[in-house]
Structure 1
Amino acid sequence: MAPFCDYLYAMDRAWWRVNIRAVQETFEGHLATILLGCFNVERFVIPERNNSGAGAVELAIQLGAKTIILTGYDMQHTDGKKHWHPDHPEPLKNAGAVCKWPEEFERIKARYPDVKIINSTRETALKMFERIPLEKALNEFY
């Protein structure tokens, strides 16, 4: 969806198995994961998180980000959906215990007080970050 990005991060081996070919054909940036020996994807050692969104934030911080704008971080089953996108096809799993995910972001916020994290997600359970509409956040911080 965003081939212009510098990094694509996923921590689910099954996701890589299903998507690696399409990713390699369409994405020119770096591929990143926490998994060992995963399709020649670069492995980063970051604190283990229970969702890939939190892992991606940890990766961005490790790579030197001082301001992070979140989009698509609803962290809840908005309108009964398990993701901001359609459900994953089999054999992939869909989000289950999303009610626990905000805890990860509380830990990130406490661990990195000097990193500015802005939440530009339309509907979100993450209440610990400043909320700024995406267009305004991009104009102000990018």
Structure 2
Amino acid sequence: MLKNWQNKTKAPTKTIFCVASGPSLTAEDCETVQKTGCSIIAVNNSWQLFSDIYALYAGDLSWWKRYRKEIPVGQFRKFTANLAAAKSYALEYRRYCDLKEGFNSGAMAISLAAELGAEVVILLGYDCSLAHGVHWHGPHADKLRNPSEISVSTWHQQFNKTQDRHPNLHILNASRSSEIQCFPRINLEAAIAQLSSAAVPVQ
């Protein structure tokens, strides 16, 4: 869908969609989100489902090694939690936890939205479960890591910490399917209906 990219330098909006790559994510939902005019932070491969995003967040060095050549140059901001990846591929480095702690890119994307000034963050593709598969695009190949029961269990703890880290951030989980318990659930249509000044840049 890489066409008609908008100006990446425009200010992010007060409502930001964070879109992860869980198996519940659909192209139709991404198209609906695109039409809101809200800023979008895509996690890992989910940038492929949009014609315009504000930023891409992919935490792992191995992911950037595999996919960096497929990503358009200069179209949106690119972030990682890996310092080596940031230095090697001219990425912006953001890691919102101690270096000794594990992380998941979906949780880091929420913290990035908070740093960008979001007041409301709406989640899509945040399944945090293997019940319906690993990703909307299927398993990663080329020896890249895919979710396991152990990693999913750890993610739940990391999302709890993310909520604690941003007590004043209104986080809504609009994923079609999700096992995350710490964020209020809402369907996408209702979330969009509640948007207030969604496309107003953060001051």
By the TM > 0.5 criterion, same fold?
Answer: yes
- How far apart are 1:89 and its partner, in Å? 1.2
| 1:69 and 2:117 are equivalent in the alignment | no
Determine which of 37, 40, 44 is the counterpart of 2:90.
40
Give deviations 1:57-89, integer Å, cap 9, x for gaps: 11111111111000000001022x122431111
Q: How does 1:46-125 map to 2 (within 5 A)?
A: 46-47=96-97, 49-79=102-132, 81-96=133-148, 97-125=151-179
CA distance in 1, matches of 2:145, 2:190: 34
- How far apart are 1:8 and its partner, in Å? 0.2
Match in the other structure for 1:127 = 181
The code of the aligned residue for 1:35 comes to N
SS of the equivalent of 1:104 reads helix
TM-score, normalised by the number of residues in structure 2: 0.64
| Gap change, CA 1:38 and 1:46, over 3 Å in 2 | farther
CA RMSD of superposed structures (Å)? 1.7
- How far apart are 1:101 and its partner, in Å? 0.8
CA distance in 1, matches of 2:162, 2:129: 18
CA distance in 1, matches of 2:159, 2:60: 19
1:3, 1:29 within 8 Å by CA — same for their partners in 2?
A: no
Gaps of 5+ in 2: 1-48, 199-203
The code of the aligned residue for 2:121 comes to I
Percent of aligned pairs sharing the same letter:
31
The more displaced of 94-103 and 114-123 is: 94-103
- How far apart are 1:46 and its partner, in Å? 2.2
2:97, 2:103 within 8 Å by CA — same for their partners in 1?
A: no
The code of the aligned residue for 2:76 comes to G
Give deviations 1:102-135, integer Å, cap 9, x for gaps: 1111111122111000000111111221111112
Match in the other structure for 1:137 = 191
CA distance in 2, matches of 1:17, 1:120: 31
The code of the aligned residue for 1:59 comes to L
Match in the other structure for 2:77 = 30
The code of the aligned residue for 1:76 comes to S
SS of the equivalent of 1:130 reads coil
Give deviations 1:39-60, integer Å, cap 9, x for gaps: 1111124225521101111111
Q: Select the structure with the greater relative contact order (CA < 8 A; seq sep ≥ 6).
A: 2
